Amino acid sequence: MTEWEAVIGLETHVELQTNSKMFCGCPVDFGDEPNTAVCPVCLALPGALPVPNREAIEGILSIGDALNCTLTEDSLFYRKNYFYPDLPKNYQISQYTFPLCVDGYLDVDVDGEPTTVGITRVHMEEDTGKSTHVGESGRIHGAEHTLLDFNRAGVPLVEVVTEPDIRSPEQARAYGLELQRIVRTLGVSDARLEEGSMRFDANISVRPVGTEELGTRTEVKNVNSLRSMQRAIAFEITRQIEVLESGGSIHLETRHWDEANGATRSGRTKEESEDYRYFQDPDLLPLHIDDAWRNRVRERRPELPADKRSRYRGLGADERVADLLADAADLGELFESAVAEGADARTAGIWLTGEVVAYLRREETEVGETGLTASSLAGLTEMTAGGDLSATAAKEVLAGVLAGEGDPREVAEARDLLQISDVDAIEAEVAAVLDEHPEALAKLREGDSKPIGFLVGQVMRATGGKADPRMVQDLIRRKTQE
């Protein structure tokens, strides 16, 4: 039986959150009212001309830089010609040869297995308007007419194209997640799939393991979450293998992911290949990205997620915890500040990603809205390490601190959770308990260690749980040997 291998390449569109559109001064952040953020340029009125937004160029360069691309010195805008009612000019300003960024890569990790995904190109283009299909079905099929809103038309759009280096749905998801983290870290986009500010198209083919030749691919569109991308790719791989194993063949086509049915359905076949008649846009000058500009982009590069993760690990956070902290900007910042104030990184990380996250979720709040500060977090880990608090008590104190009851010591005192560190006081309790249970003491002396747990429990009860159980156990053993 043939063993199959999937070959996947991803095309990702990211809307840049600049103030104004790619080629005109209309706002990118528009409300719900249709056709209110439009002008002669983005509506393609006769005579209007595009002028590129410098900030958008900066944005794409920062993405290319973060994806280890070569930033092209001389780059060009092209016209990509096709008729569609949501495309006002009926050509899209895009890039073709000489895109702004080429030949990069992104390292992703699935369950400890690292993979490098090649980035073919990152190029600049403009978004289309939005169509609403009106009719009983609400879908394009069966619609009676269509309403067009051009508010989104001309929003800066970056397309990131990978090499066909991805081999599994999990890798695809990991790539998507890491790319999302990167653009968010760069601050160029909120990269929300459900709102369409980040969109994935997947090119998928399968081939027998060990062969080089690529199989016929299909392109899967319409995934609006990373999870549905993973599901869609998994479905498509299985579908293709089934078709091939039953003697059929794969057609070059676009397939749409149907979330409700958990399946891809056939779109348009690509037999009649598209002819976009690309040519250099004569309305736009060539882009020249000189060394100074490239250096500036590199200097402005913020700490990327992968670097942050490894730094957090270096500080002492567990691997998984470091990943989570690097993803959550506010928790990560709190973590860093707490460690700087002397917190035990491992414990602080575990609490932040455990109790604190649970609290925030439960209370539907942000960490900045709680009573937890870097110094209180550091104080709490110190109190625990110093034996002032038991692990259980520490969590209770943390809850109190989060709820704004005060700093850890105040909470611990108010809730009477501080451990008794006075050895004499505990010794007295131990002696009292042993006096009450001579039979247990006798068994211990005969070498039967069973009663020790019972005895420790009695002492803890007597001290209201504030004794350190390990210390209690030591004291009992010492008494036994007397």
Partner 1 sequence: MTDLADLTIAQASAGLREQEFSAVDLLDAVERRAAITEAHLHAYLTLDREGAREAAEAADIALVDGDLRPLLGIPIALKDNMVTKGVETTASSQILAGWKPPYDGTAVRRLREAGAVIVGKTNLDEFAMGSSTENSAYGPTRNPWNTETVPGGSSGGSAAVVAVGSALGAFGSDTGGSIRQPASLTGIVGAKPTYGLVSRYGLIAFASSLDQIGPLARTVPDAAMLLEAVAGWDRMDATSYHGDVPAISRSLNVGVRGVRIGVVTELVGEGIDPQVLAATRATIDRLSEAGADVVEISLPAIEYALSAYYLIAPAECSANLARFEGVRYGLRVDGATTEEMMARTRAEGFGPEVTRRILLGTYALSAGYYDAFYGQAQRVRTLLRNDFATAYGQVDVLVSPTSPTTAFEIGAKTGDPLTMYLTDICTIATNLAGDPAISVPVGLDDGGLPIGFQIMAPALGEEVMFRVAAEVERLVDFTARPRLATSKVVAP
Partner 2 sequence: MCLATCYRSNPHTLSAQSTGTITSMPVEIDIERVAHLARIALTDEEMTAYSEQLVHILEHAERVQALPTDEVEPTSHPLPMVNAFRPDEVIPSLDRDDVLAGAPDAEDGYFRVPKILDES
Question: Interaction with partner 2 in 333-392: which residues (CB under 8 A)?
Answer: none
Q: Contacting partner 2 (CB under 8 A), which of 2, 25, 387, 431?
A: 25
Round to whole Å and give the CA distance between 16 and 22. Answer: 9
Q: Contacting partner 1 (CB under 8 A), which of 6, 9, 64, 79?
A: 79
Q: Where are the beta strands (DSSP E) in 128-262?
A: 130-134, 145-149, 156-162, 198-208, 218-223, 253-258
Check: CB of residue 15 under 8 Å from CB of residue 198: yes
Residue window 204-243: x/- pattern of binding to partner 2, with contact defined by CB under 8 A:
---------------x-x----------------------
Q: How far is the CB of 250 from partner 1 (least distance, A)?
A: 24
Per DSSP, what are the bridge partners of residue 105? 118
Position 87 contacts partner 2 (CB under 8 A): yes
Position 50 contacts partner 1 (CB under 8 A): yes
Q: Is 446 helix (H, G, I), strand (E, B) or coil?
A: coil
Q: Where are the beta strands (DSSP E) in 329-470?
A: none
Q: Contacting partner 2 (CB under 8 A), which of 6, 7, 8, 56?
A: 56
Interface segment toward partner 1; rule CB under 8 A; list 41-49, 289-297, 311-319, 373-381: 41-49
Length of the chain: 482
Using alpha carbons, list the distances in angstroms from residue 304 to 38, 82, 467: 35, 37, 46
DSSP 226: H
Position 159 contacts partner 2 (CB under 8 A): no
Q: Which helix (H) or strand (E) holds 66?
A: helix 54-66
Position 454 contacts partner 1 (CB under 8 A): no
Picked from partner 2, partner 1, none, the partner binding residue 49 (CB below 5 to 8 A depending on kind) is: partner 1
Q: How far is the CB of 388 from partner 2 (least distance, A)?
A: 54
Position 55 contacts partner 2 (CB under 8 A): yes
Position 285 contacts partner 1 (CB under 8 A): yes
Q: How far is the CB of 85 from partner 1 (least distance, A)?
A: 5
Position 146 contacts partner 2 (CB under 8 A): yes
The identity of residue 184, as a single letter, is R
Binding to partner 1 (CB under 8 A) within 80-99 occurs at 81, 83, 85, 88-91
Q: Which is nearer to partner 1, 128 or 381 (CB)?
A: 128
Position 19 contacts partner 2 (CB under 8 A): yes
Q: How far is the CB of 40 from partner 2 (least distance, A)?
A: 7
Residue window 167-186: x/- pattern of binding to partner 2, with contact defined by CB under 8 A:
--------------------
Q: Could you tell me which of 269, 233, 263, 273 has the C-alpha nearest to residue 251?
A: 269
Position 49 contacts partner 1 (CB under 8 A): yes
Instruction: Give the contacts of 118 (CB within 8 A, at least 6 positions apart).
Output: 103, 104, 105, 162, 163, 165
Picked from partner 1, partner 2, none, the partner binding residue 54 (CB below 5 to 8 A depending on kind) is: partner 2
Q: Which helix (H) or strand (E) holds 125?
A: strand 113-126
Instruction: Give the contacts of 96 (CB within 8 A, at least 6 positions apart).
Output: 76, 78, 80, 278
Round to whole Å and give the CA distance between 178 and 166. Answer: 14
Q: Which helix (H) or strand (E) holds 17?
A: none
HSE toward the beta carbon, residue 432, CA cutoff 13 A: 12
Picked from partner 1, partner 2, none, the partner binding residue 44 (CB below 5 to 8 A depending on kind) is: partner 1
Q: How far is the CB of 230 from partner 2 (least distance, A)?
A: 21
Which residues lie near partner 1 (CB under 8 A)? 40, 43-52, 79, 81, 83, 85, 88-91, 146, 148, 150, 273, 275, 277-279, 281-285
